[in-house]
Amino acid sequence: MPIFEFHCSKCNHHFEYLVMGGDAPKKCPECNGKKIVKLMSACGFLSKGSGGETVRAAAGSSGCGGCSSTNCGSCGH
């Protein structure tokens, strides 16, 4: 079962959700907000780079594929 990470843009709650059958959470478990952003694990890896080429590559690209350009808290895009 794939577990994905999600982030609520409303209350900044970060949570994991077990996705079954392609269903994503419709609302935040904390505040019931619907501004849910799905985080890809690749974003986390990129953001944890301590400088150098990984960070530059991330900044120079169009962003991580799984993140929206403005709402991803983990990758900074």
> Do 21 and 2 touch, CB atoms closer than 8 A?
no
Instruction: Give me the sheet containing 36-39, strands edge to edge.
Output: 14-18, 3-8, 36-39
Stretch touching Zn ion by CB under 5 A, among 2-10, 39-47, 55-63, 68-76: 2-10
DSSP 70: T
String marking each residue 5-44 x if it binds Zn ion according to CB under 5 A: ---x-xx-x--------------x-xx-x-----------
Binding site for Zn ion (CB under 5 A): 8, 10-11, 13, 28, 30-31, 33
